[in-house]
């Protein structure tokens, strides 16, 4: 019997210009999970603390992701999954992705890494399919690989880990209203004008170039979304005020985190990120809506081991 306790990080997907393709991994925001290889075959969710989520394997993203992993692995071994939730479901900072990525990463580790970390992405995506009806990779890729990631292509799946400049810091506000990924997907239009597409892919290229050249101004100029944000931001109270306040305090850019309702601001340096947090806190305190604020450096590692044990039954 083997068991591992891990930190499963929160992630910010889309990053304004990269809907469904860009994401980044946070450092001090995330869940904990304990994954064990057991004598009885089959995948079981044995404990969930901190959230009211399904215990049935086929309804929990962690269970579904591990089942996809074991199908490819070809052996029906026993896996027990404990989830200690700190990221609220439906927050837009990759709650489901943390569970599905954490679970497959841990099982892979306990089995001696039969798959590469890149190969784990497609198993974790099965969890995302359960959570939102769409097997997107923009949260699970950064959770697994760390740093900033780009989904260059979904078919065939081609995930690129990008460079992560040292001074970037995320400020994220999570208003405690639930916006389900499936709901916020329904407001999106499926046709885009060529003018908007040109604007968007110019920014996506600029953002990636900005990361690799550590050009913080270019990163900031590129954090612009003319396709999704205008439609989705109406679901988020005070979105424009928060975004404007963040930029006024010196953030490089700000936008919707994943499918919302969380709003992110990316800054150069901890001082600006803290100033941004204070400004957006002031705005939200007046709304009467409960909220959390997270300030985090970019986590270039992804999932981290907290403790590992091996014992005989
Ligand atoms: P987020 O963007 O924060 O991941 P989603 O709306 O995409 O939020 O996913 C949350 C949905 O996934 C909820 O309906 C939740 O019940 C379901 N779910 C199933 N298992 C889990 C899990 N282990 N962690 C988080 N959400 C889960």
- Mean pLDDT of all residues in 175-204: 89
Q: What is the mean pLDDT of the chain?
A: 95
Q: Tell me: pLDDT of 311 over 80.
A: no
Q: Do 2-163 and 168-297 agree at the fold level?
A: no
CATH fold for domain 168-297:
Alpha-Beta Plaits (3.30.70)
24-41: pLDDT as tens digits: 999 999 999 999 999 999
Residue nearest atom 2 of ligand 1, based on CA coordinates: 92
181 within ligand 1 shell (Cβ under 6 A): yes
In CATH, the architecture of 2-163 is: 2-Layer Sandwich (3.30)
Per-residue DSSP letters for the chain? -EEEEEEEEEEEESTTT-TTTEEEEEEEEEEEEEEEEESS-EEEEEEEESS----SGGGSHHHHHHHHHHHHHT---EEEEEEE--SPTTSSS-HHHHHHHHHHHHHHHHTT-SS-HHHHHHHHHHHHHHHHSS---TTHHHHHH-SEEEEEEETTEEEEE----TTEEEEEEEESS---HHHHHHTS-S---HHHHHHHHHHHHHHHHHHHHT-HHHHHHH---SSSHHHHGGGSTTHHHHHHHHHHTT-SEEEE-TTSS-EEEEEESHHHHHHHHHHHHHHHHTTT--EEEEEEEB-SS-SEEEEEEE---
User: pLDDT grade, residue 88 (50/70/90)?
Assistant: confident
Ligand 1 atom with minimal separation from the 45 CA: 23
Boundaries of every domain in the chain: 2-163, 168-297
Supply the pTM of this predicted model: 0.96
pLDDT at 90 over 90: no
């Amino acid at each position: 019997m083997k068991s591992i306790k891990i930190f499963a990080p929160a992630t910010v997907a889309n990053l304004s210009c990269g809907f469904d393709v860009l994401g980044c991994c946070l450092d001090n925001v995330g869940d904990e999970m304990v994954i064990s290889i057991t004598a009885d075959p089959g995948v079981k969710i044995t404990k969930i603390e901190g959230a009211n989520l399904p215990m049935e394997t086929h309804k929990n993203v962690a269970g579904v992701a591990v089942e996809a992993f074991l199908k490819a692995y070809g052996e029906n071994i026993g896996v027990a999954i404990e989830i200690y939730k700190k990221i609220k479901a439906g927050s837009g900072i990759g709650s489901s992705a943390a569970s599905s990525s954490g679970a497959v990463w841990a099982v892979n580790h306990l089995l001696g890494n039969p798959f590469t970390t890149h190969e784990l992405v497609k198993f974790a995506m099965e969890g995302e399919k359960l959570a939102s009806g769409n097997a997107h990779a923009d949260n699970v890729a950064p959770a697994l690989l760390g740093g900033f990631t780009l989904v260059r292509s979904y078919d065939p799946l081609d995930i690129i880990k990008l460079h992560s400049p040292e001074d970037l810091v995320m400020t994220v506000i999570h208003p405690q209203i639930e916006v389900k990924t499936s709901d916020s997907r329904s407001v999106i239009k499926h046709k885009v004008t060529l003018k908007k597409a040109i604007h968007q892919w110019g920014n996506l290229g600029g953002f990636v170039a900005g990361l690799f050249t550590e050009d913080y101004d270019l990163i900031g100029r590129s954090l612009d979304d003319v396709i999704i944000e205008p439609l989705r931001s109406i679901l988020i109270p005070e979105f424009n005020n928060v975004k404007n306040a963040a930029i006024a305090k010196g953030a490089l850019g700000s936008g919707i985190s994943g499918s919302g309702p969380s709003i992110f601001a990316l800054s150069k340096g901890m001082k600006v990120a803290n100033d941004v947090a204070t400004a957006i806190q002031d705005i939200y305190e007046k709304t009467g809506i409960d909220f959390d604020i997270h300030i985090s450096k970019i986590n270039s590692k992804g999932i981290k081991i907290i403790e590992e044990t091996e014992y005989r039954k």
